[in-house]
Amino acid sequence: MAGELELSRRGVLMVGGASAALATVSPAEAQTPPPDTAPTQMAVSFEINGADRTLELDTRTTLLDALREHLNLTGTKKGCDHGQCGACTVIVDGQRINSCLSLAVMHEGAKVTTIEGLGTPDDLHPMQAAFIKHDGYQCGYCTPGQICSAVAVLDEIRQGLPSHVSASLTDRPRATNEEMRERMSGNICRCGAYSNIAEAMAEVAGARA
Amino acid sequence: MRPFSYERATTPAAAALAARARPGAKFIAGGTNLLDLMKLQIETPAHLIDVGPLGLDRIEETPEGGLRIGALVSNSDLAGDARVRRDYGVLSRALLAGASGQLRNKATTGGNLLQRTRCPYFYDTAQACNKREPGSGCAAIGGFSRQLAVIGVSDHCIATHPSDMAVAMRVLDAQVETVNAAGETRAIPMAEFHRLPEDRPHIDTVLPPGDLITAVTLPRPIGGTHVYRKVRDRASYAFAVVSVAAVLQRDGTGRVAFGGLAHKPWRVEAAEAALPQGAKAVAAIALAGARPTHENAFKVTLAERTLAAVISDARG
Ligand SMILES: Cc1cc2nc3c(=O)[nH]c(=O)nc-3n(C[C@H](O)[C@H](O)[C@H](O)COP(=O)(O)OP(=O)(O)OC[C@H]3O[C@@H](n4cnc5c(N)ncnc54)[C@H](O)[C@@H]3O)c2cc1C
Ligand code: SF4
């Protein structure tokens, strides 16, 4: 079948690298074999944007789906759903993670911050304000993930953690353009707003220094 | 994703016991590889044992003057540890060259070692793949093989192991500590941990199913200049085409391992004696017997040239 062949060829060409970002649709998902374990429900409690929440979830529910489908926090976006694009980035216990590659039940007791928890339209987080000022987006789909990641990146630099482009592993890194670009490489922007994102980050980093 | 039941592990031995007691059980640590594969139904565990609650997230000094890295230490925490940055720079560098900041925050030491290949045919369930489905064949041989292995290959599989961290651990002579369902512990040298595909490519490592990795130990620091050089199709956030992990001493001696070339980190100790003669001499021994495909023969040359760049960088 031409259609099917086309799909599997595309699968072959696209998977494997982060460059596959938004296009991985596996033919496997179309031909689900009968399940041998019945779906299992479990309770999980965590703190989402400062509020205690308890949910009863199918164990398969990712943190991303729990946020979007069960808590109506749709600011966090689903891009590739395979950890390749960064649109689902949230901050858990102070660290940025891909919420799509984590099960909700693995976060019992965790503190989760999403874009909705960073700031509100009337009370923007400085990074949100800087993204608006510097036009750090076009379509806006990757923006919540970019902003959560950017906030965490400046934190990582402040903690003195090195990156792939740091010349020395032992000196304190500085918030240079090169450092920020490397550290933000897990957030893909289809519109290519990268240079403006880096400028927004530079402003926030500068204000803080 | 197929349905699964889920439990949180309480102790390492209990986790190994639970894994043996439940057919189709798997451990989950960061989840960054396993969940990806479960969404594609390449992995279909019926039961998950979350090893997160075990702790095992500390990096401690050993009585021998080395480091013991808990299996659940995240790739970020390991790369950022002051002792690792100072004494085992090649390991920090390898980790920082892998994946993205978000992924490294979740990825663990044990999970990184056990991550599965990125062979595109392994990921595509419509294709023949002996690693995913033993006996089905290998669509990569004669297919798109640019990314795949050039040495240690078999007629059954030409996949590479994708980890950057493992290449650095191999050059540092790390050991993998494990515990089984009977509570017995073992220390497996990195040299033996990952297998070659031979006629059983579905088995990646010598770790028996259900055995738990508890830690990775590093021997005392060996000094020298530590370098990890990763060649990839873009500057960041891509798997290695070829990588070189090296620890080079002032007198010209040293250690070298390659990533992106084989089903395991590729290190040939006998080739290291040729380091004073330069990259060509080392590569001639380390890559003797290479069996590249028509699409990835360039990797043999690229590996030698990457090593030449590493040696020249290290000499400053
Ligand atoms: C987009 C993307 C890009 C990436 N790029 C790179 C890259 O450039 N370089 C690189 O090296 N890696 C890369 N990775 C892979 C990443 O490093 C791995 O996914 C990660 O290290 C796996 O660790 P984890 O803790 O999440 O493992 P999990 O997904 O939790 O587990 C992986 C496997 O290990 C088993 N396991 C986990 N812990 C234990 C234990 N303690 N004992 C026994 N078994 C255990 C699990 O059962 C499972 O089979 C990338 C991943 C993605 C998604
Ligand atoms: S190279 Fe190995 S992993 Fe890739 S298709 Fe062949 S058997 Fe499968």
What pLDDT is recorded for position B92? 98
Which atom of ligand 1 is nearest the CA belonging to B43?
Answer: 49
> How many other β-carbons are positioned within 10 Å of the β-carbon of residue B300?
18
Is residue B316 pLDDT above 80, yes or no?
A: no
Size of interface A-B (CB pairs under 8 A): 175
For domain A119-209, give the CATH superfamily. Answer: [2Fe-2S]-binding domain (1.10.150.120)
**ipTM (interface predicted TM):** 0.97
- Please judge whether A182 and B236 are an interchain contact, meaning their C-beta atoms are less than 8 angstroms apart: yes
Domain boundaries, chain A: 39-118, 119-209
Distance from CA of B270 to the nearest CA of A (A): 30
Q: What is the CA radius of gyration of chain A?
A: 19
Mean pLDDT on A23-28: 42
Q: What is the CATH number of domain A39-118?
A: 3.10.20.30
3 state DSSP class of A23: coil
User: Burial level of B157, CB count in 10 A (0-12/13-18/19+)?
Assistant: buried
pTM: 0.94
Q: Which residues does residue A98 pair with via DSSP β-bridges, in sequence order?
A: A89
Residue A105 pLDDT greater than 50, yes or no: yes
| Partners of residue B124 in chain A, C-beta under 8 Å | 8, 11-12, 15, 26-27
Average pLDDT in the B81-90 region?
A: 98
- Give the pLDDT band (50/70/90) at residue A20: very low
Q: Where are the beta strands (DSSP E) in chain A?
A: 41-48, 51-58, 89-92, 95-98, 111-113
d(CA A101, CA B87) in angstroms, rounded, equals: 32
Angle at B99 between CA B237 and CA A115, to 5 degrees: 90
* Least CB–CB distance from B40: residue in A26, A60, A103: A26
Distance, in Å, from the CA atom of B108 to the CA atom of B122, rounded to the nearest integer, reads: 22
Q: Mind listing the pLDDT tens digit for each residue in B136-175? A: 999 999 999 999 999 999 999 999 999 999 999 999 999 9
